[in-house]
Each structure stands twice: as C-alpha cells, then as structure tokens.
C-alpha cells in the first residue's frame, strides 16, 4: 500500500475532522485506503427515466425528471410534514417529507428542474414518494455512470446528512487523486492466466461503473482476490503443518476392530459409515498426522464411527480420548461405548467435573502407566494434570461447542508427535463456509441416515391449539412413546429461563397428573441431571421437560415427540438439533413447533423451513441467507473474524471454489512461496496475519 493511501481520512477533500470522526466511529473508515475498500452494497440503473403516468403499484426505486410546482406544509411540531407538488409532462404527484423539513425548504426550489429518485407508493389513489433524493438536473457529474453505487451508512450518519450520496462524493474526491497510486496485489502470471481486471481499474469500476460488463469483471476480480488470500493462508498453514509434523502410523487392524466388527456390531453399517471409516483408516495409516472433520446430520451415526476409529488406535497400541461438550453427553457416550465394547477387554473411564478425587487419582495413574485405553469426558480432559502415556487419537464430539484454544490443548498432550484428531459436528455447515472455517481440515461426510428411519413430521401450532397438542401427547404416551418438551433459553435472564421451565413443569403435572415427568435444566447439579436423564432413558418417566441443555447428542430412541415451546425464539440450527433428538427409532416421530401469533418475518421463515424440510444442509443454507455467515453457529468460536468486505459466502460459492483451486495449484508449484513473483503474496499474507485474522495451527 502506498503512503498516500495510508493518510488519515480527515485529509480527504470534503471530509474534515468532524466527518472523519463519524466515519471512524460508525464505519471504521480510518484511512483513504479504508474508504477505497468500503464497497457499495447495491447499484441502481440511473439511465432510465420514468414518467409519472407510468407509475404503478409495487415499483422498485425509480427515477423521474420534472419540477416542483408548489410546497405545502401541514401539521405542527413533530407532526409537521412537507408536501411538494411535482410535475412532469405526463402528470402530477406528491413528494413527502416528515423529517428534515427545514433543510428541504431552504435548499430545494420550486420551478427548477430536478431528478427525483425514490420508491413510489400509491396511497388512496395518489402517487407519492416519501423522502426522495433530489438532484438538480443540470448537475449530474457524480451519477454519470450507468449504475449508481449505494453505500450503507448508519442512522447517526444520516442525521448529519452523511448519506450514501455523501459517501459517493467522498469516493469521487478520492478517485480524482488516486491515479498511479494503487499497486497490484496479485502476481502478474495469475492476472494474465485468469484474465483478471487490473486492481486500479477494478477499484474504479466498483465505485463508478461505466457499464454492466465492466462492473461484473470488477466485482469478480475483487471477490476472487479476497477469497484467494484466505484460501492461500489456510492451505499454506496446512502444508506447513503437514511438513513439520509427522503422524503416528496406525498400520494394523487387529483384534479389537475385527472382534467388534464380527461379534459386537449391533447393526449393519450404512454405506456412508463404511466410506468414512475407510477414509479415516487410510489417513491414519499414511504417516501424516490426521486432522479430519466428520460432518453428519443428527442421527447419522457418528458415535459408531468414532468408536471404530478408537478401536484402530487400540489395535496399534495407543490411547484415545473422547471429549464431549456436556456431562450428559459424556455420560451417554461412556455408557453406550461400555455396552458396545463389553467383553472386548478395553479399559474405559469417564472423567468429568464431578468425578470424585479418589477416582480421579486412579484415572491419572492409569493414564500414565498406559493401562487406561479410552478416556471419555468433558473439558476436564484438557487439564494439565491429565497426562497420557501414549495418546494416539483425540476425538472431539460436537466440536462447534469448543473453542480453538481448547482443542489446541488436547493437541499438545504429547511431547513430540501430536495425536490424530477427529472432530465431529452435527451442525451442518454449508460447503462454502466449511471451506473457509475448517479449510485446513480434511472433511468426511456421512450423507446417509441408517435405514428404516421415517422422516420426522414437523408441524407449526399457534397457542390456540394447545389443547390438541395435549390430546396428542396423551395419545402418544398411551401407545408407549415418550415426549420431550423444550423451553427456550432466555439470554437476558437466567432466572426467567428457569422460571419458564419450572412453570411448564408445574403446568404439565396438572394437565397430566398420572404421568411421570422428568426435568433437566442448566441450574441443576450434574448428578441430578444425569439421574433425571437416566430415568427418561429407561422409560420410567414419560415426559422430559428441559431447556436446550438436551440440544446436543442425547439419544433416546423411544422418544418420538419433540415439542418446542416459543419456537420463534430459537435459531434454525438449534431447532434442527432439537428435532434430531427424535426420529431415532422405528416409529413415526413428530416435532411440534409452538409459537405465539405475533412473530417476525424472519421467525416465520425459520418455522416454515423446519416444516418444509428435514435436510440439515438445506437448513444451513437458509440459515446462512437469513443471518449471514458471521452469525452462523460455529463460526464465532472458530477464531476467524468474518470480515469479508466484498465476497459473500452465501452467494459466491463458485468463486470461492475457483479461488481455492488456484491457491492450491499455486502452492503445488511453489510450496514455500519462494519464487520472486510470488513475494507479493508473502507480503500480503503477512499483512493479513498482523491484522484481521487470528488463526491457530488447528482451526
């Protein structure tokens, strides 16, 4: 970057100290360069002029040319509004202002020809535009291009007239000074190979497009570059890691896996499970240290894959740790794995926050002398006191619940060779996002559910149909099924949250006096939670009232109904996770989404999506469109600040794939980026590292 572009934004003509403060505070624009990289969020065609007589209902933003005949003011104080009667050769309409009336009166003149821009509405037969943009017709310099760029600004800025138009003007002033001061950021070979638009041209076209074709190329160039650098960074980290760490070689498949496979396997593996176990085996036998993400929708049978992976480690004489995000889940894994491996002679232990001191001491000893083969637990596993003799494999379940740092600690449990790492997640992540967030991991996907599962039927009920819901519960319990009823977590108040569940519990006891009801919430002691969970698992209680603590992993195949109270308060991926608690047995399962009448459009879209599909990946795509990738569950903890300036992971999947391929090819040719012409890449990678990105060696 040139010194010129590093200048404080206050020195840009038209900005000055006060506006600069606003730009810094509201938009994080500190320098000329920041402004240059503050991109428009949309473009509008400003070549076409409509006539007033052509206006119909439901039009987008349009442009008109004409003049104001007269002004009229109605109302007083805050009720005051200004009406301008505006005409062109085809008719008359009204322009309305509720705010900034004084400014308009002082600056807009009757009788002068204006270009009016805005979204028309038709109100009781009359056409009007509220808060239009006006520009004297003779003074068209800035919007000279075909498309007008629009920039986001904040409410605070708008109050000070720092609108999109003002930003446009700043961009214009900047563009006037910038000739010869922008330097290319990609190697010339790449630019010519991909026929990319040169950077200075792209930056000019993106703010002041001359025609749709140039705009398209400019957008492509800038998006490509942004995604290319991210992929280059991820992939070069991966290369470095693979170059500097050797992995344990698990060459054998022996007694444990074979015996389990022929005598203990409770069912046939699905093809997807088989495929994934094969991928994992190959990886762990290759001499590389495995870093693999196992993705699979809820109920796809990831636990079994994890167990088989562990058995391979035992066959090669190594220890394994399996980390789960909650005590309930750790317990469940412990119990089911103990049961499945019964008779194999594997020494398994459970370590959680509530493990007694005496038991802990034994575990620590057995880990160090190597007699304990599998340690299952919560993040208690990460503690420094936990030392393994020969840790060969680390499995992390529901990995989106853990931070990067927590996983990194497990990685470092061995002094020399890091263990193989398998992280599992049921939070379906769109492919584009996975390539970015987990871009340095290899990915295996279980894309098939065990056979015989009937798709869960999902229904949305408003409050007034509660009685039918109760009748339905009765019906299901009568035929031997069990029911979950989940209440939302209320972030603002944990007390309220608890009250919510407890009230629900009391109410249900009244409605169903003859049923046994369990309750689990975050404020209970782990032992109490487990006891309640156990009762439900064994079928001794019919209804489980809970908060989202049961969201991940819990497996009770006989439970066939999931009722989610105030479902409008939940995020999509959370709803999907909760629904995944049912539909695990052979019976038809149901998910009932209860909501009040008043719900936002976004909530409605979420509930509709849940009713429409059971496909976790489809749900993840919708989630990403609704919330934007930065908010997607799992990304906050990934250690990557999502600060994409121009590319959009939801829409630019193809460009991302292209960028990843190019980055990968480039690293194949020049793995350490030593070629002279690639020094430009090294320079920008270093700069990235120092600024926005915060990667760990195992993101």
Residues within the interface to Mg ion (CB under 5 A): 553
Give the dihedral sign, CA 516/522/525/526.
positive
Using CB atoms within 10 A of its CB, is residue 555 exposed (0-12), middle (13-18) or buried (19+)? middle
Among 118, 132, 187, 299, binds ligand ADP (CB under 6 A): 299
Work out which of 300, 444, 500, 547 binds ligand ADP, going by CB under 6 A: 300
d(CA 37, CA 610): 38
Size (the chain), residues:
699
299 binds, among ligand ADP, Mg ion, none (CB under 5 to 8 A by kind): ligand ADP
Q: How far is the CB of 399 from ligand ADP (least distance, A)?
A: 12
Q: Of 167, 298, 374, 380, which lies in the binding site for ligand ADP, with binding defined by CB under 6 A?
A: 298
Among positions 41-100, residues that touch ligand ADP (CB under 6 A) are none
Helix axis angle, 526-537 to 327-340, nearest 10°: 50
Encoded tokens for 485: 């009823």
Q: In sequence order, which residues have a C-beta less than 8 Å from that of residue 265 and are 6 or more positions away?
A: none
Where does this chain touch ligand ADP (CB under 6 A) — which range of 70-78, 145-153, 269-277, 360-368? 269-277
Angle at 213 between CA 211 and CA 216, to 5 degrees: 110
CB of 481 to ligand ADP, least distance (A): 16
Quote the least distance from Cβ 295 to ligand ADP, whole Å.
10
The residue at minimum Cβ distance from Mg ion is 553
Q: Which does 296 bind (CB under 5 to 8 A by kind): ligand ADP, Mg ion, none?
A: ligand ADP
CB 582 within 8 A of CB 590: yes
Closest CB to ligand ADP among residues 449, 659: 449
> Is 456 among the residues that bind ligand ADP (CB under 6 A)?
no
Distance between CA 299 and CA 631 in Å, rounded?
25
Contact characters 414-453, ligand ADP, x per CB under 6 A = ------------x-----------------------x---
**Which secondary-structure segment (H or E) carries 437?**
helix 431-437
Q: How far is the CB of 336 from Mg ion (least distance, A)?
A: 10
The tokens of 457 are what? 């039927």
Q: Counting contacts by CB under 6 A, is residue 396 touching ligand ADP?
A: no
- Binding segment (CB under 6 A) for ligand ADP, from list 128-136, 291-299, 589-597, 672-680: 291-299
Among 303, 378, 567, 609, contact with ligand ADP (rule: CB under 6 A): 303
Q: Report DSSP letters for 52-117, one per residue.
A: GGG--SS--SEEEEEEEEEEEEES-GGG-EEEEEEEETTEEEEEEESS-HHHHHHH--TTSEEEEE
Q: How far is the CB of 338 from ligand ADP (least distance, A)?
A: 14
Contact 299, 453 (CB under 8 A): yes
Any contact of residue 557 with ligand ADP (CB under 6 A)? yes
Cα–Cα distance, 574 to 314 (Å, whole number): 35
State the minimum distance, in angstroms, from the CB of residue 582 to ligand ADP. 11
Does the footprint of ligand ADP cover residue 614 (CB under 6 A)? no
Query: What, of ligand ADP, Mg ion, none, does residue 448 touch, CB below 5 to 8 Å by kind?
Result: none
User: Taking CB under 6 A as the rule, does residue 459 contact ligand ADP?
Assistant: no
Q: List the one residue out of 282, 248, 272, 277 whose CA is nearest residue 260.
A: 277
DSSP 659-689: HHHHHHHHHHHSTT--SGGGHHHHHHHHHHH
Q: Is 271 near ligand ADP (CB under 6 A)?
A: no
Question: Toward ligand ADP, which CB reaches closer, 267 or 462?
Answer: 267
- Phi, psi of 100, deg, nearest 5: 65, 25
Total of residues contacting ligand ADP (CB under 6 A): 18
Tell me: does residue 584 bind ligand ADP (CB under 6 A).
yes
Both tokens of residue 218?
């400019």
Among 171, 231, 273, 560, binds ligand ADP (CB under 6 A): 273
What sign does the CA torsion over 241, 223, 168, 64 have? negative
Q: Is 401 in the site for ligand ADP (CB under 6 A)?
A: no
Binding residues for ligand ADP, rule: CB under 6 A, are 267-270, 273, 296, 298-304, 426, 450, 555, 557, 584
């Amino acid at each position: 970057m040139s010194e010129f572009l590093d200048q404080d934004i206050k020195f840009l003509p038209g900005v000055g100290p006060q506006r600069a403060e606003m730009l810094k505070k509201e938009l994080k624009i500190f320098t000329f360069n920041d402004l240059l990289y503050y991109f428009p969020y949309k473009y509008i065609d400003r070549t076409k002029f409509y006539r007033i007589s052509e206006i119909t209902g439901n039009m987008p933003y349009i442009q008109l040319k004409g003049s104001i005949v007269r002004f009229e003011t109605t109302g007083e104080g805050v009720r005051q509004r200004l009406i301008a009667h505006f005409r062109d050769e085809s008719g008359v309409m009204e322009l309305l202002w509720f705010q900034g009336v004084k400014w308009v009166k002082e600056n807009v003149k009757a009788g002068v020809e204006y270009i009016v821009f805005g979204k028309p509405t038709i109100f009781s037969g009359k056409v009007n535009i509220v808060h239009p943009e006006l520009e004297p017709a003779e003074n068209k310099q800035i919007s000279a291009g075909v498309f007008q760029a629009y920039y986001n600004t904040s409410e605070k800025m708008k109050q000070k007239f720092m609108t999109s138009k003002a930003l446009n003007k700043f961009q214009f002033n900047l563009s006037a000074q910038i000739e010869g001061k922008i330097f290319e950021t990609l190697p010339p070979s790449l630019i010519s190979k991909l026929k990319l638009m040169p950077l200075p041209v792209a930056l000019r076209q993106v703010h002041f497009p001359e025609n749709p074709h140039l705009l398209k190329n400019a957008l492509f160039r800038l998006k490509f570059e942004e995604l290319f650098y991210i992929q280059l960074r991820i992939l070069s980290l991966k290369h470095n890691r693979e170059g500097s760490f050797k992995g344990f070689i698990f060459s054998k498949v022996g007694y444990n896996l074979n015996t389990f496979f022929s005598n203990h396997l409770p069912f046939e593996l699905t093809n997807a499970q088989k495929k994934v176990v094969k991928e994992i085996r190959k990886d762990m036998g290759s001499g590389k240290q495995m870093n693999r993400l196992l993705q699979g929708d809820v109920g796809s049978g990831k636990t079994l894959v994890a167990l088989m992976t562990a058995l391979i480690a035992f066959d090669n004489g190594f220890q394994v740790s399996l980390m789960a995000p909650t005590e309930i889940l750790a317990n469940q894994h412990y119990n089911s794995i103990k049961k499945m491996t019964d008779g194999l002679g594997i020494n398994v232990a459970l370590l959680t926050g509530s493990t007694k001191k005496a038991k802990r001491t034994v575990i620590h000893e057995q880990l160090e002398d190597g007699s304990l083969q599998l340690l299952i637990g919560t993040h208690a596993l990460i503690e420094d006191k936990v030392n393994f003799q020969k840790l060969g494999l680390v499995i992390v379940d529901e990995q989106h619940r853990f931070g990067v740092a927590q996983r990194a600690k497990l990685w470092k449990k061995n002094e020399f060779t890091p263990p193989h790492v398998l992280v599992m997640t049921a939070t379906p992540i769109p492919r584009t996002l996975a390539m970015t967030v987990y871009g340095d991991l290899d990915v295996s996907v279980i894309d098939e559910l065990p056979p015989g599962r009937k798709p869960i039927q999902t229904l949305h009920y408003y409050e007034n149909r509660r009685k039918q819901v109760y009748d339905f519960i009765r019906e299901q319990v009568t035929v031997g099924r069990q029911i979950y009823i989940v209440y939302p977590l209320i972030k603002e108040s944990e007390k309220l949250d608890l009250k919510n569940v407890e009230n629900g519990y009391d109410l249900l006891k009244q409605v169903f006096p003859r049923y046994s009801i369990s309750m689990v919430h975050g404020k209970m002691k782990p032992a109490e939670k487990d006891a309640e969970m156990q009762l439900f698992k064994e079928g001794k209680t019919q209804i489980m009232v809970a908060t989202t603590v049961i969201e991940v992993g819990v497996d009770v195949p006989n439970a066939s109904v999931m009722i989610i109270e105030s479902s409008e308060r939940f995020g999509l991926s959370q709803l999907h996770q909760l629904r995944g608690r049912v539909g695990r047995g052979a019976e038809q399962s149901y998910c009932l989404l209860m909501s009040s009448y008043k719900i936002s459009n976004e909530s409605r879209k979420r509930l509709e999506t849940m009713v429409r599909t059971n496909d976790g990946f489809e749900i993840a795509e919708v989630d990403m469109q609704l919330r934007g990738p930065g908010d997607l569950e799992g990304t906050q903890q990934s250690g990557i600040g999502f600060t994409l300036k121009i590319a959009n992971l939801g829409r630019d999947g193809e460009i991302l794939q292209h960028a990843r391929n190019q980055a990968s090819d480039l690293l194949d040719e020049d793995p350490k980026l030593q070629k002279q012409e690639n020094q430009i890449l090294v320079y920008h990678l270093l700069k990235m590292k120092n600024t926005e990105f915060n990667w760990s060696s195992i993101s």
